[in-house]
Amino acid sequence: MLLSKTSEYGIRAMLHLAGVGGDVYLPVKRISKDLDISFHFLTKIFQQLTRAELVDSYRGPNGGVRLRCEARSIAVKDILVALEGDDLFTKCVLGLPECGEGHPCPLHEHWARSRMQIETMFGGKSLIDLGAELRSGGFRLRATGEWTEPTK
Amino acid sequence: MLLSKTSEYGIRAMLHLAGVGGDVYLPVKRISKDLDISFHFLTKIFQQLTRAELVDSYRGPNGGVRLRCEARSIAVKDILVALEGDDLFTKCVLGLPECGEGHPCPLHEHWARSRMQIETMFGGKSLIDLGAELRSGGFRLRATGEWTEPTK
DNA sequence: CACAAAAAAGATATAAATGTCTTAAAACGG
DNA sequence: CCGTTTTAAGACATTTATATCTTTTTTGTG
């Protein structure tokens, strides 16, 4: 599989936040229900995203998480890097430590191109853009069942 | 990480076989030493590749594994599919089960392009071609240390 | 202040990937 | 037939990823 569950969940949750928009704090509980993701697991993921300063969190009633102002223009790539590091965008596809121009693996050149394309694809659109597309409809962030508009 | 250790090792080992070329059986022990990969783990991987009919195996003295004649023109993609299935080339990048034209995730369209590019990159070159490039020098399949030409 | 809501943090459980070890079966060479 | 080489197969150990549960801390409200 390309991405870990952590990344899949993290990206879906962040896109969900971007889709909801606004400055309101959304409880993780709510997000976990909206997207059908394990609440406790999602909590851990948001703790990472909070430490990475991609989201603000607030405790207590009316608390929750929201996209950090300074991070509204981030891309999916930034979520990935926060959750898993940048291995996908830097490392040799065959796992060879010093793979590079000097000692390339047989796939080095080919993979370099693919990698760049992947980086562009994950880095090309901002969460704002993706959130807007999400609101415009036709897109989906959960497995099955109909969409329930968050109440707050 | 993009690929599992199983895939990394499997691809490296298969490229090694392609680089050696010929009809000779190469013992897994030898390959594991050449590439610095755990012997027992590599054995398991070759058992999968044998069952997938990508390699022939032969027991006893002068035994080992070799590329199957019919599979000389396969690509790295075929190794990947044999070892991990085709999820990487078919599944939604966010893990959504019914992601498609009808109910696309926000990344569906973008990922479809990347995925195709990745498929082309893993499917573009045959093991024969890659083996020839390997023999022509300048390429590397192990982490460090100098290359030791297999004696048989 | 007491209570409830919510994130943070820690502990634990389960499953999957990775790695190692042992035994069995096949093939060959004396 | 016996010993060696090798793959095949199975058992086991370790680590990492995934998932769940409990406790603590913060915050708002009555």
- B103-136 burial by CB neighbour count: b if 16+ within 10 A, else e? bbbbbbebbbebbebbbebbbebbbeebbebbee
Q: Does pLDDT of B58 surpass 60?
A: yes
* Distance of alpha carbon B17 from alpha carbon B55, whole angstroms: 10
Cβ contact B110–A125 (<8 Å): yes
Measured CB to CB, residues of chain A less than 8 Å from chain B are 1-3, 5, 8, 11-12, 15, 76, 87-88, 91, 93-99, 103-107, 110-111, 113-114, 117-118, 121, 124-125, 130, 133-134, 138-144
Domain residue limits, chain A: 5-137
Tokens standing for B118? Answer: 């990745």
pLDDT (mean) for A132-152: 75
- Residue A152 — very low, low, confident or very high, per pLDDT cuts 50/70/90? very low
- Which residue has its C-alpha nearest to nucleotide C16's C1'? B4
Q: What pLDDT sits at residue B22?
A: 83
As a whole number, the mean pLDDT across chain B is 93
Q: Is B41 helix (H, G, I), strand (E, B) or coil?
A: helix
Task: Say what the pLDDT of residue B145 is.
Answer: 62
- Measuring alpha carbon to C1', the residue closest to nucleotide D10 is B44
Residue A150 has pLDDT above 70, yes or no: no
CA B142 to chain CA centroid, nearest Å: 14
- Between these two residues, B148 and A68, which has the higher pLDDT value? A68
Q: Where are the alpha helices (DSSP H) in A1-152?
A: 5-20, 28-35, 39-51, 76-84, 87-90, 108-123, 127-135
> Measured between alpha carbons, how far is B65 from B62 in angstroms, rounded to an integer?
10
Write the pLDDT tens digit of every residue in B82-92: 999 999 999 99
Q: Given a cut of 80, is residue A86 above it in pLDDT?
A: yes
Tokens of B85: 């299935």
Indicate the fold that domain B5-137 takes in CATH. Answer: Arc Repressor Mutant, subunit A (1.10.10)
CB pairs under 8 A between A and B: 105
Separation between Cα atoms, residue A107 and residue A85, nearest integer Å:
22
Ranges A35-39, B4-8, B22-26, B43-47: which has the least confidence: B22-26
Shortest CA to C1' contact from B40: nucleotide: C20
Q: Do A12 and A35 form a contact (C-beta atoms < 8 A)?
A: yes
With contacts defined as CB-CB under 8 Å, which chain A residues touch B3?
A: 93-95
- Average pLDDT score over residue span B37-63: 97
Question: What is the pTM (predicted TM-score) of this model?
Answer: 0.93
pLDDT category, A145, cuts 50, 70, 90?
A: low
CA B68/CA B24 separation, integer angstroms: 11
Please identify which residue in the block is written with the tokens 């034209």.
B101
What residue in B sits closest to A11 (Cα-Cα)? B94
Q: How far is the CA of B10 from the C1' of C22 (A)?
A: 24
Cβ neighbors of A1 (< 8 A, separation 6 or more) are B87, B88, B91, B95
Q: What is residue B96's predicted lDDT score, i.e. its pLDDT?
A: 96
